[in-house]
Homo-oligomer: A and B are copies of this chain.
Amino acid sequence: MTVTITAFDRSPDGGKGLARDMRVRWALEEVGQAYEVRLVSTPALKEAAHLARHPFGQIPTCADGDLALFESGAIVLHLAERHAGLLPGEPRARARAICWLFAALNTVEPPVLELSAARLLERDRPWSAERLPLVEERVRGRLRPLSARLGGADWLDGAFSVGDLMMVSVLLRLRASGLLDEFRNLAAYVARGEARPAYQRAFAAQRAVNGRS
């Protein structure tokens, strides 16, 4: 069964692994599923052929046999359910891992995205300097309880799971802001995620496409 994903032909981050195809590549590497990548140019994202695959004209999408998926969260969950390696077998632990996946995407990522917008899209606006601390504090409002819950553990709930994969992916977007370094256990948690061989393989694969040197 061939799995084919879509990714930017030229990622806006220049190969730092922050585009959302990285989350799917990482999951595919964790479960040991080979995949092909179809690169899409920025103009082609908004054309009918791609909009049929992704209604919002984004990447990634994933074709897995006769299933056509969009949204990195849905794709990663699908892979975790279909293959061993990203979800515990015990039902209660399995349910909690999926809760963490949603927490990464719907509780932690919204303020992280808002901070990215403030730092990048609004950096030259007159309010930028005065407003930034406000947005940073919204992000800390998520990092504090996350740091408290993680404590000294390696992963959020026992063994590495799809919840950690997504949480690390979301937290990575904070590195440039310096906020991550305010929470030493979270910085170490993210580094632990990046050190996984599957992450390294996925990172190298997207870097080979996007790296600007």
A residues apposed to B, CB below 8 Å:
51, 55-58, 66-74, 77-78, 91-92, 95-96, 98-99, 101-103, 105-107, 109-110, 113-114, 117, 122, 125-127, 130-131, 134, 138, 142, 145-146, 148-149
Contacts and interface: CB of A to CB of B under 8 A. Distances in A.
A96 to B, nearest CB: 7
B113 A101 contact: no
Main DSSP-derived SS at the A contact region: helix
Contact of A70 (B58, B99, B138): B99
Contact of A105 (B99, B106, B114, B117): B106
Given A102-B73, A110-B113, A114-B110, A131 B127 contact: yes
A149 to B, nearest CB: 4
A145 B95 CA distance: 32
Q: Taking each of A71, A106, A122, A134, which has the highest tally of chain B beta carbons within 10 Å of its own beta carbon? A: A106
A148 B98 CA distance: 31
Contacts of A130: 126-127
Contact of A55 (B72, B91, B101, B146): B146
B127 A71 contact: no
Nearest to A75: B99
Given A105-B106, A145-B55, A99 B71 contact: yes
B92 A68 contact: yes
A44 to B, nearest CB: 15
Given A102-B74, A110-B109, A127-B130, A69 B55 contact: no
29 contacts: A55-B103, A55-B146, A56-B103, A56-B107, A56-B145, A66-B92, A67-B92, A67-B95, A68-B96, A69-B95, A69-B96, A70-B103, A73-B102, A73-B105, A73-B106, A74-B98, A74-B99, A77-B98, A77-B102, A102-B105, A105-B105, A106-B109, A110-B114, A114-B114, A122-B131, A125-B127, A125-B131, A126-B130, A127-B131
